[in-house]
Amino acid sequence: MIGKTAGASAMYMAMSSLNQAHATTFKGKPKLEGDVKGASVLILGAGVAGLVAALELSRAGYKVQVLEYNNRVGGRSWTLRGGDSFTELGGATQNVGFAPGNYINPGPWRLPYDHKGMISYCNELGVALEPFMQVNTNALLHNTQAFGGKPIRYREIQADFMGHTSELLAKAVNKQALSDEVTKEDAEILLEALRDWGSLDKDLRYVKGPESSDRRGWAKNPGGGLSAYPEPSEPMKFSTVLQSHLWTGLSAGFGIERQSSIFQPVGGMDNVAKGFEKHVGQFVRFNSKVVSIKQDAKGVTATFEDTKTGQRGTASADYCLCTIPLSVLSQIDMNVGDKMANAIRAVPYEAGFKVGLEFKRRFWEQDDHIFGGISYTDLPITQISYPSSRYGSTGPATLLGGYTFGAYAYEFTSLPPAERVARAVEWGSKIHPQYKDEFLNGVAVGWHRVPWTQGCFGNWSPEARKEHYDNLCQIDGRILLAGEHASFIPAWQEGALTSSLDAIGRLHQRVVAG
Q: Report the Cα 5 to chain-centroid distance in Å.
A: 18
How far, in Å, CA of 348 to CA of 326, rounded?
8
* Domain final position from 399, 421, 449: 449
Instruction: Specify the pLDDT at position 274.
Output: 98
Residue 22: predicted pLDDT: 53
Instruction: Name, in order, each residue with C-beta under 8 angstroms of 217's C-beta and a sequence gap of 6 or more.
Output: 153, 155, 156, 233
Task: Report the alpha-carbon distance of residue 432 to residue 425 in Å, rounded.
Answer: 10
Quick one: pLDDT band at residue 23, thresholds 50, 70, 90?
Answer: low
SS3 state of residue 416? coil
Same domain, 342 and 485: yes
CA 149/CA 171 separation, integer angstroms: 33
The rounded distance, in Å, linking the Cα atoms of 65 and 40 is: 8
- Residues with Cβ within 8 Å of residue 109, at least 6 apart in sequence: 132, 264, 269, 385, 400
Q: 13 in a domain, yes or no? A: no
In this predicted structure, the answer to whether residue 38 has a pLDDT above a threshold of 80 is yes
The answer to whether residue 9 is domain-embedded is: no
Residues 444 and 357 in one domain: yes
Answer whether residue 146 shows pLDDT above 50.
yes
Residue 25: alpha-carbon gap to chain centroid = 18
Residue 227 CB: number of other CB atoms within 10 A?
A: 8
Helix (H, G, I), strand (E, B) or coil at 236: coil
Q: What is the pLDDT of residues 366-398, one digit of tens each?
A: 999 999 999 999 999 999 999 999 999 999 999
What CA–CA distance (Å, rounded) separates 480 from 477? 8
Burial class (CB in 10 A: 0-12, 13-18, 19+), 179: exposed
Q: Are residues 211 and 343 in the same domain?
A: no
| β pairing state of 262-265 and 129-131 | antiparallel
Domain endpoint, select from 402, 419, 449: 449
Q: In what order do the strands lie in the sheet with 352-359?
A: 152-153, 140-142, 374-377, 383-385, 397-405, 352-359, 439-446
Q: For residues 494 and 487, give the distance between their C-alpha atoms in angstroms, rounded to a whole number.
A: 9
Question: CATH code at 307?
Answer: 3.50.50.60
Instruction: Report the pLDDT value the prediction gives residue 28, as an integer from 0 to 100.
Output: 83
Instruction: Answer yes or no: do 376 and 428 share one domain.
Output: yes
pLDDT of residue 19: 45
Residues 356 and 439 in one domain: yes
Task: Look at residue 227 and tell me whether its pLDDT is greater than 80.
Answer: yes
6 within a domain of the structure (yes/no): no
439-468 average pLDDT score: 97
Distance of alpha carbon 127 from alpha carbon 452, whole angstroms: 26
Got the DSSP string for 56-124? HHHHTT-EEEEE-SSSSSBTTS--EETT-EEE-TTS-EEE--PPTT-EE-SS---EETT-HHHHHHHHH
**169, part of any domain:** yes
> Is residue 172 domain-shared with residue 85, that is, in the same domain?
no
Residue span of the structural domain in which 229 resides: 154-244
DSSP state of 9: H
Do 361 and 264 have their domain in common? yes
Contacts of 232 (CB under 8 A, 6+ apart): 208, 209, 210, 212, 213, 218, 219
Q: b vs e for 255-272, b when ≥16 Cβ sit within 10 Å of the residue's Cβ?
A: bebbeeebbbbebbbbbb
For residues 461 and 360, state if they share a domain.
Answer: no
- Domain with residue 238: its CATH number is 1.20.1440.240
- Cα-Cα-Cα-Cα dihedral sign, residues 402, 404, 407, 412: positive
The residue length of the chain stands at: 514
* Whether the predicted pLDDT of 7 surpasses 70: no
Supply the DSSP symbol for 231.
B
User: How confident is the model over 409-426, as pLDDT tens digits?
Assistant: 999 999 999 999 999 999
State what percent of residues in the chain have pLDDT above 90.
91
Predicted confidence band of residue 462 (pLDDT cuts 50, 70, 90): very high
Beta bridge partners, 402, equal 355
* Number of structural domains found in the chain: 3
Report how far residue 103's alpha carbon sits from residue 266's, in angstroms, rounded to the nearest whole number.
11
pLDDT tens string 177-216: 988 899 999 999 999 999 999 999 999 999 999 999 999 9
Q: Is 426 contained in some domain?
A: yes
Are residue 309 and residue 441 in the same domain, yes or no?
no
pLDDT at 82: 98
Last residue of a domain, one of 410, 431, 449: 449
* 8 domain residue, yes or no: no
Q: What is the pLDDT of residues 337-359, one digit of tens each?
A: 999 999 999 999 999 999 999 99
SS3 297: coil
Q: Same domain, yes or no, for 474 and 508? A: yes
Q: Are residues 264 and 367 in the same domain?
A: yes
Residue 111 dihedral angles phi and psi, to the nearest 5°: -125, 95
Predicted pLDDT of residue 14: 44
Look up the CATH number of the domain holding residue 413: 3.90.660.10
Answer whether residue 417 is part of any domain.
Answer: yes
Residues 395 and 441 occupy one common structural domain: yes
Q: Is residue 148, in this structure, part of any structural domain at all? A: no
User: CA 398, CA 442: separation in Å to the nearest integer?
Assistant: 9
